[in-house]
Structure 1
Amino acid sequence: MTSRTAQDTGTAVPFSRLASSVVSDLGTTTTTGLTATEASRRLAADGPNDLPSAPAVPAWRRLLSQLNDPLIHLLLVAVVISAAAWALEGSHGVPVDSLVILAVVILNAVIGLVQESKAADAVAALSEMTRATSTVLRDGSRLVVPSSELVVGDVLLLSEGDQVGADARLLETATLRVVESSLTGEAEAVTKTPDPVGPDTDLADRTCMVYRGTAVAQGTGRAVVVATGADTEMGAIAQMLESVEEEPTPLQKEIHQISRMLGVIVVVIAVVVVSTLLALASDRSAETVIQALLLGVSLAVAAVPEGLPAILSVVLALGVQRLALHRAVVKKLTSVETLGSASVICSDKTGTLTRSQMTVQEVVTASGTAVVTGTGYAPTGQVAPDADRDGRPDPEPLAGALADEVTVVLSGGAMASDAELSVTDEVWSVIGDPTEGAFLVAERKLGTDGSRQGRFTRVGEIPFTSERKMMSVLYSDARHGTILVSKGAPDVLLERCTRVRVDGTATVLDEKLATRLTNHVTDMSGRALRTLAVAYRVLSQEEAERVSAISHGTGAGGTTAAAETPGSPQTTGSAHSPSVTAAVPADAPAERSDLSDLEHDLVMAGVVGIIDPPRPEAATAVAEAHRAGVRVLMITGDHPATAGRIAADLGLAERGARVVTGRELSTMDENALDAAVAEANVYARVAPEHKMRIVHALRSQGHTVSMTGDGVNDAPALRAADIGVAMGITGTQVTKEAAAMVLADDNFATIVDAVREGRRIFDNIKKFLRFLLSSNMGEVLTVFSGVVLAGAIGLSQNSGTDVVLPLLATQILWINLVTDSGPALAMGVDPSVEDVMGRPPRKPDDRVVDGTMWVGVLLVGAVMATATLGTLDLFLPGGLIQTSLSTDDLDTARTAAFTTLVLAQLFNTLNSRSERVSAFSHLFVNKWLWGSVLLAVLLQVAVVEVPLLQTAFSTRSLDLTHWAVVVTMASLVLWADELRKVVARVLA
């Protein structure tokens, strides 16, 4: 169903009309948004806000697509050839060979369809886990809803890091800048305002619009949705991209190359063998030619593992589902092949290596130090003097100058905040930045939060950026006029301060006091405390008038005041609702201006030390990563001393090890950067562009890099890394879209778990590749050698014809059907039999199927062929091996050889679980493997003993002697490979 657009309601080109008119026409309001009932009605009428996609392919067409494969074409040729042979022989009875081959083709297609559907279901489930969300106003409440449920008329609340969920007309903005490169190709963020533009304005210049798929780089805003789904600008692009096919991954390409190489080799062998047979045949009748062609088809069928692509997709899908259980959501199946090869993990500190439950622990002012007790977000604890500087609160309460200054610091930090403190079922949590929430909690412990209510009205904001390392808010104060409150890095704020608050008055900030504050900051950072300073200033009358003009839309800046949101027992926050702060009125035509020039001549209130303890499991995870040969780098915006202390506590670096700062990185040339990256594991005061440089330097040194991030500015570094990892809890929607993996718990240990799981998945891919290639090599060598050695092993003497096949085409198809599907798939979910974290990472240029594997494949294939043909020779008279058992006819001896090859391949499942570890290690840990082997054995017994199947596959019943010989000969594959593994372990 097509989405309703603004045009449907008469609001043509909404960017050329006043925002109030658009809002009115869409039947919504800027203050309360749509009602939940109306939103549901519109969603039902217009359909979900999804991009257009190709219609679902019917099951019958997907089934037919399974037949569109060169191997299947060979099998169909075999059907025609078999039918022709049956016709030439007089059309007696039923064309069993043709029907059996046709049945196998259909069964293979059904298996492929089922496996493809499972993989698609896994991808769909993962997509649901990482679906985009948007913040909207409905019934006057702020709600987070899936972006697919946005409807025309919804009021979007935009903030830094959001991905815009639908095309929308801006109503209000506060220094809002949006990255629209996905639509316009323009890399720089575009400043947005609510002012209408001309009806013929190009998309890139529609500054009063935001579009689906673009990213909010800075500021806040409010907009009304005017188009959803296919009617968005992104929807138009999606319709053009429907026919674009995704590029295969390196793993898929390599497997395709292997299959093609095997096909070419076998076609050459088949042509040579068939040509030789026809050249040497005394009778070149139609029957002889058909038999020779059947041999060629048999060789082709034996060589190519037709179930490989489907099995690969299912194994990757199952692996990704297991990763999701470990709380690591991999967005694409193809990313799994990179996880196991990660050699460097670049991790944020806050929330990833630490708990991200920021708690103010100390407050330092001009008059002394106060200690804040209690941890976490529950506002239980006290604020008391720390006269003895021992980190413990004195029994006496705060009083005098220290009480005044601590109150200003904690209240000022709470005011310069976009966070909210809430409680649900006695569980306290912070909505917004954890550091800002720490001020709210500390202020409640102090008991002064209520004194702000009704006194301050927020009228503007100068947002935080990673480059500025500070933010400021503007308040209309009922007592002092207009004030500016700033919060940021102490070194940054100190540079902007000329005075300091002492006992209620602002005095000159001299060098001695500045040095003392700096020393306190260094001391707290050395104790792993994050430090933030709070400063303020009362604006002049001229400056206040400028801010007032901006807040009322009558001057530069065009911001509108938002009433303070009163705190309550359930929710308290900074003195505003984050969705409406410093918003620009819908129809304000004012010229805009940056207010950051007001951040000067500040009064330093004090510095707080905030604790964010390391996660208890992080140190263990770091040690495990090091054991696996993976370097762990901490890249943080925190103070170098804090970063160094946390790194030492976690085992990332020795105490006193080098900490590279962002300032140093900015001055380094490429050679110096390469040297630093090769040595240092800890980086502090780092900006997003520094992350990019670090990633590029590591990759140029041959590393496979995983990079974590949560802010919108981290997205480029996540894209540049081999494995971008976004935070699922604190990460912005933009970073989640840019990342290859999302951590549902923001935990560094989850990354290490994902690396372990990625290695296991890659090992399992190698397992079933080793199994499939060696088993199919055994079939090829059996058929080829059987023809070449037909006279020596007694085949020719017992057939009565010139063209003799050691195995029939139907039997080869049966072998592939029984062994290539179930056991191979079971190996794809095999638990680790090796210590996957006890070896170094895989190098980027390492092949999936390397020389060592090819040696094993050829060895196992040769042993299979020898065991199979040896069994055939043993039971046929006139061969190389003559015993009392050499009395069978060709069909019985061929049945024994056929069964030997099937059982040899089942023994090979145990071999293939590792290149070096014995098959008897962790023998019974994979119940699925044993189940598939048991099922294959039962099916083979049925083919040999059930009369109907005997007719279909030209088999004969075997007695106990036959079975004993067959099992013994088949087990040679196991013993031969065990010997090879012993030699490999000795030589290692």
Structure 2
Amino acid sequence: MSGYFVIPWRRRPQGSIIGRVDVSAGAVPPSVQDGADVARSLAVDPATGLTSADAAARLQRDGRNELRAKAPEPLWRKILRQFQDPLIYLLLVAVAISTAAWVAEGADGVPVDALVISAIVILNGILGFAQERRAEAAVSALQSMTDATSTVLRDGELGSVPSAELVRGDILVLNEGDAVGADARLLSAAALRLSEASLTGESEPVTKNAAALTAEVPLGDRTNMVYRGTSVVQGVGRAVVTATGMATEVGSIAEMLDETREDPSPLQKEIAGVSEMLGIAVIVIAVVVMAVTSLVNEISSVRDLVTVLLLGVSLAVAAVPEGLPAILSVVLAIGVQQLARRHAVVKKLHSVETLGSASVIASDKTGTLTKNEMTIQRIRTSSGEVELTGVGYRPEGDALAGGRPLTDPALTREVRMVLTAGALANDAQLSCRDGDWQIQGDPTEAAFLVAARKLSGTVDRTQQFARRAEIPFTSERKMMSALVAHEEGIAVVSKGAPDVLLQRCVAVQIGDRVQPLDTDRRAAAMADVEELSGQAFRTLGVAYRWVDRPATDFDATDFDATDFDPADERDLVYLGVVGIIDPPRPEVAVAVAEARRAGVRVIMITGDHPVTAARIAEDLGIVGPGATAVTGTELDALSPDRLEAVVATTSVYARVAPRNKLQIVDALQARGEVVAMTGDGVNDAPALKAADIGVAMGITGTQVTKEAAKMILADDNFATIVTAVRQGRAIFDDIKKFLRYLLSSNMGEVFTVFFGVLFAGFIGLAAGSGEAIVVPLLATQILWINLITDSGPALAMGVDPEIDDVMSRPPRRATDRLIDAEMWRGIISVGMVMGIATLLTMDIFLPGGLVDGSDSLEVARTAGFTTLVLAQFFNAFNSRSETTSAFSHLFSNGWLWASVGLGVVLQIAVVHISFLQTAFGTTTLDAAHWAVAVAMASTVLWFDELRKLFLRRRGTGS
């Protein structure tokens, strides 16, 4: 034996009943048949389940266990949808107008304007389609992470499979917290209760059993059936799957339901509002520009009218970032994938917005703030106290007495006996796989196995015993005992609640002697227990006695409680008490400090003892020294007003019931807090659903909580929540970055055209141009700017690394606007500078105006066109932060540099390649022209640097 007792598992022979599988809908409902008969009709042995090959064949034949989804959208329709946009309709109108004018004028040559606008429409459609496909791929990848799973018996082994792969005949194993994956007939049930509210509307859990019904009854009365979409709230059971997919009761309901429309998130609504406002504003501006252009210039031909119309249409299209929804979806999808790589699986893209706004994190203790690895840290015996170092299930650590290595022989003997007895009265197992130590069984019992390995010689001593019988722990007895055989005889070893155990003890171990447990020694033992309890340790006492019974009385392969004589658990010898604690995760204290720095309040809600909860909360920095926990009983006694006052100041709650968690969440939300709430049990689901961000545990969480939550922690670690909050804030910052960039750049185009038309004579545009209609930029040039400057840099900013310290500011309030007044001021001022720089560039090269130049309108317009393009690329670096210099973290975003570099190459091409010159009305520029264009474009950068410097100084009060 390895020294740890393993109850032999008698595995039945694998295989399935050979015979024809009855997959037809029988005339007799399964609820009125015996469970064994139902299993037989489905050709499955309940003891072993289906074979993997049989399950795969049934899945292939019957299809996946999924409700019928809406037919996938055809590729052609997805492509066509890219052109179903009012702004695209405007461009198509522009194509029609341009083509009609070309025909009216004799169809001489090719309709350049119409062809160029058509090409831009097609390119925009391709970019939109590519962005949509990328977002769909990201969402699909995330969906696979949150797919429901079910526990089934296949090939004689228990395993977890995706619920979508359940087939008729599968043996479904149900445990508390499981979501039922298919309709099934119960074969066995122990204290099994299910919530069927989602199916029947019955609010109370329904008690289930495996007995056959005498007649067919309504759905809510079928106590031997379980149905897809319901959940186990208590007990365990096994059932054979009788229906999957659309054949389930939920499937029959789905047949009658219309498609549900999901309400847009606040972020989506705000983006839509901004787009609508811009659309109205720009259409007004476009109409004004067309009117002013018509008044300033003499309209004498169809060509002149077409020029004015194309200008207005192009300005409207360029000023509204029509690709914004697609870019937003891509950025959110990429951000959520980044969160998933950090072990935080967000189920819905737009939940990222709420995550970044969280102002309170309400966390469970066990497994989230702590390691969920019970560890023995203190051992008290008659001769003193020993501290065991090391935490968790890795058996590494030392035994210290008074801070020094343990050397006292008497104390060493007592401690070894405590750990030996605790390891023998034990059903847990400890094993090492690939360097990773794992346990099976109760964590408290496993703590004895780990501790025994830390004290030299203890495991060797344990291996000298063989267990012969046991009386298991129960909540009524509060102790466990085992009969163990040794060459010296039979001994009973017991562990349990110290007060209960001491009542059965008559002696105490002191060194190698057994002394009577008199009143003073009994009081000293209880004082040790109380002192450890006061330090938030869970205490377990350990005792033993030799019994006068021969080892031959027991069957070593089949031991049970019937081999115990009740007298065996009396007249015990008390060995000592151990102090056990679930140690805090070392990274959580850092994460709590980071959350507090970010203005996020952390509170602990646990069912543990108030003293333990307060101790762990203090160790983690959630509360200060001396803080106490509020219990669920105390919460129940509070009025709503008083409850709201209590949650405003209390950060530790202990001994709480599920309803108390919901109370706390509701009270916090009533105060305007955005609450992230963690949970793992089925009873946590209501609170998780009520919270702004419900966070389920990926490892220990039940399927019900995972379905109720909006985020799943793949590592069950609190620090991951804080990391997710940081990432959520960074994603929200990235959204603001590309909005700042798109809107300010588009404002630059609007101001360039508007003021260019309004002040055409002032800057020399009208003098000697030879054109009937003089405009600063051609329609095709505006569309070109929109094409090369919008998508690439905006997407690159959507994955921009963190520039500002997002955790140095308080959470975003629900009333805060996505684009606030300060941001609007920046957008308009930068757009104004962009327009001025563009028009001044043209003025420099044009005869007359403020600066007397000597170039043609074609050269000046090309230089202004180039200046506006380059200014937008400079603005891309400006837009990475509202206050931080563009030169900070300048080279941290390679994607941004790549998109800007590509845009510059394309602009050079459109200026210097002849067929592009014809299409976009450009001409070749020399080095001097390029130098002026670059210098004038850079004024956008220098202006914004000065603006940011002012904002920084204003922010620091200097």
TM-score, normalised by the number of residues in structure 2:
0.85
Deviation at 1:328, TM superposition (A): 1.4
Tell me, in whole angstroms, the C-alpha distance in 2 between the residues paired with 1:888 and 1:116. Answer: 45
Counterpart residue identity of residue 788, structure 2 = V
Tell me, in whole angstroms, the C-alpha distance in 1 between the residues paired with 2:556 and 2:122. Answer: 67
- Which residue of 427, 433, 450 maps to 1:424? 433
Tell me the equivalent position of 1:909.
876
Counterpart residue identity of residue 592, structure 2 = V
Q: Which moved more, 1:785-794 or 1:171-180?
A: 785-794
Give the 3-state SS of the residue equivalent to 2:24 in structure 1.
helix
Map 1:29-428 to 2 at 5 A: 29-197=45-213, 200-239=216-255, 243-278=259-294, 282-283=298-299, 285-361=301-377, 376-377=392-393, 395=409, 414=426, 423-425=432-434, 427-428=436-437
Tell me, in whole angstroms, the C-alpha distance in 2 between the residues paired with 1:199 and 1:75. Answer: 69
1:613-663 CA distances to partner (integer Å, 9 max, x unpaired)? Answer: 222212111111111111111222222222222222222211212322222
Counterpart residue identity of residue 433, structure 2 = T
Tell me the equivalent position of 1:614.
584
Tell me the equivalent position of 1:791.
761
Tell me, in whole angstroms, the C-alpha distance in 2 between the residues paired with 1:744 and 1:280. Answer: 66
Tell me the equivalent position of 1:888.
855
Tell me the equivalent position of 1:551.
none
| Residues 366 and 501, structure 1, Cα contact 8 Å, conserved in 2 | no
Alpha carbons of 1:48 and 1:206: their partners in 2 closer, same or farther (altered >3 Å)? same
| Residues 540 and 579, structure 2, Cα contact 8 Å, conserved in 1 | yes
Q: Which moved more, 1:7-16 or 1:691-700?
A: 7-16
Deviation at 1:731, TM superposition (A): 1.5
Tell me, in whole angstroms, the C-alpha distance in 2 between the residues paired with 1:297 and 1:49. Answer: 51
Tell me, in whole angstroms, the C-alpha distance in 2 between the residues paired with 1:825 and 1:387. Answer: 61
Counterpart residue identity of residue 529, structure 1 = F
Tell me, in whole angstroms, the C-alpha distance in 2 between the residues paired with 1:128 and 1:105. Answer: 35
- Which residue of 771, 780, 797 maps to 1:827? 797
Give the 3-state SS of the residue equivalent to 1:333 in structure 2.
coil
Matched, 1:964 2:931: yes
Alpha carbons of 1:248 and 1:618: their partners in 2 closer, same or farther (altered >3 Å)? same
| Residues 708 and 724, structure 1, Cα contact 8 Å, conserved in 2 | yes
Map 1:661-740 to 2 at 5 A: 661-740=631-710
| Residues 329 and 741, structure 1, Cα contact 8 Å, conserved in 2 | yes
| Residues 298 and 773, structure 2, Cα contact 8 Å, conserved in 1 | no
Alpha carbons of 1:514 and 1:33: their partners in 2 closer, same or farther (altered >3 Å)? farther
Deviation at 1:28, TM superposition (A): 0.9
- Which residue of 769, 788, 808 maps to 2:778? 808
Q: Which moved more, 1:631-640 or 1:402-411?
A: 402-411
Give the 3-state SS of the residue equivalent to 1:168 in structure 2.
strand
Tell me, in whole angstroms, the C-alpha distance in 1 between the residues paired with 2:728 and 2:741. Answer: 20
Alpha carbons of 1:255 and 1:516: their partners in 2 closer, same or farther (altered >3 Å)? farther
Alpha carbons of 1:476 and 1:223: their partners in 2 closer, same or farther (altered >3 Å)? farther
Q: Which moved more, 1:259-268 or 1:58-67?
A: 58-67
Alpha carbons of 1:263 and 1:388: their partners in 2 closer, same or farther (altered >3 Å)? closer
Tell me, in whole angstroms, the C-alpha distance in 1 between the residues paired with 2:420 and 2:264. Answer: 60
Deviation at 1:255, TM superposition (A): 0.7
TM-score, normalised by the number of residues in structure 1:
0.82
Tell me, in whole angstroms, the C-alpha distance in 2 between the residues paired with 1:471 and 1:816. Answer: 77
Alpha carbons of 1:88 and 1:796: their partners in 2 closer, same or farther (altered >3 Å)? farther
Alpha carbons of 1:639 and 1:520: their partners in 2 closer, same or farther (altered >3 Å)? farther
Tell me the equivalent position of 2:564.
none
Tell me the equivalent position of 1:626.
596
Counterpart residue identity of residue 531, structure 2 = D
Tell me, in whole angstroms, the C-alpha distance in 1 between the residues paired with 2:529 and 2:366. Answer: 18
Alpha carbons of 1:936 and 1:426: their partners in 2 closer, same or farther (altered >3 Å)? closer
Tell me, in whole angstroms, the C-alpha distance in 2 between the residues paired with 1:40 and 1:744. Answer: 28
Alpha carbons of 1:566 and 1:835: their partners in 2 closer, same or farther (altered >3 Å)? farther
| Residues 565 and 575, structure 1, Cα contact 8 Å, conserved in 2 | no
1:570-615 CA distances to partner (integer Å, 9 max, x unpaired)? Answer: xxxx989xxxxxxxxxxxxxxxxxxxxxxxxxx9999763222222
- Which residue of 516, 529, 534 maps to 2:537? 529
Alpha carbons of 1:927 and 1:454: their partners in 2 closer, same or farther (altered >3 Å)? same
Alpha carbons of 1:367 and 1:62: their partners in 2 closer, same or farther (altered >3 Å)? same
Counterpart residue identity of residue 311, structure 2 = L
- Which residue of 840, 859, 884 maps to 2:810? 840
Deviation at 1:890, TM superposition (A): 2.1
Deviation at 1:374, TM superposition (A): 7.4
- Which residue of 741, 751, 762 maps to 2:732? 762
Q: Which moved more, 1:724-733 or 1:386-395?
A: 386-395
| Residues 715 and 735, structure 1, Cα contact 8 Å, conserved in 2 | yes
Deviation at 1:306, TM superposition (A): 1.5
1:439-483 CA distances to partner (integer Å, 9 max, x unpaired)? Answer: 67679978779989674699xx99x9xxxxx9999999999xxxx
- Which residue of 917, 934, 951 maps to 2:901? 934
Alpha carbons of 1:371 and 1:825: their partners in 2 closer, same or farther (altered >3 Å)? closer
Give the 3-state SS of the residue equivalent to 2:237 in structure 1.
strand
Q: Which moved more, 1:618-627 or 1:847-856?
A: 618-627
Q: Which moved more, 1:605-614 or 1:449-458?
A: 449-458
Give the 3-state SS of the residue equivalent to 2:883 in structure 1.
coil
Tell me, in whole angstroms, the C-alpha distance in 2 between the residues paired with 1:398 and 1:323. Answer: 49
Tell me the equivalent position of 2:916.
949
| Residues 846 and 857, structure 2, Cα contact 8 Å, conserved in 1 | yes
Tell me, in whole angstroms, the C-alpha distance in 1 between the residues paired with 2:707 and 2:442. Answer: 20
Counterpart residue identity of residue 93, structure 1 = G
| Residues 318 and 829, structure 1, Cα contact 8 Å, conserved in 2 | yes
Tell me, in whole angstroms, the C-alpha distance in 1 between the residues paired with 2:817 and 2:494. Answer: 55
Unmatched tracts of structure 1, length 5 or more: 465-469, 480-484, 536-563, 568-573, 577-602
Q: Which moved more, 1:804-813 or 1:425-434?
A: 425-434
Tell me, in whole angstroms, the C-alpha distance in 1 between the residues paired with 2:197 and 2:74. Answer: 36
| Residues 384 and 411, structure 2, Cα contact 8 Å, conserved in 1 | no
RMSD: 4.0
Counterpart residue identity of residue 165, structure 2 = E
Deviation at 1:533, TM superposition (A): 8.6
Alpha carbons of 1:239 and 1:112: their partners in 2 closer, same or farther (altered >3 Å)? farther
Counterpart residue identity of residue 882, structure 1 = V
Count of paired positions = 896
Tell me, in whole angstroms, the C-alpha distance in 1 between the residues paired with 2:504 and 2:407. Answer: 23
Matched, 1:657 2:590: no
| Residues 383 and 411, structure 2, Cα contact 8 Å, conserved in 1 | no
Give the 3-state SS of the residue equivalent to 2:538 in structure 1.
strand
Give the 3-state SS of the residue equivalent to 1:30 in structure 2.
coil
Deviation at 1:767, TM superposition (A): 0.3
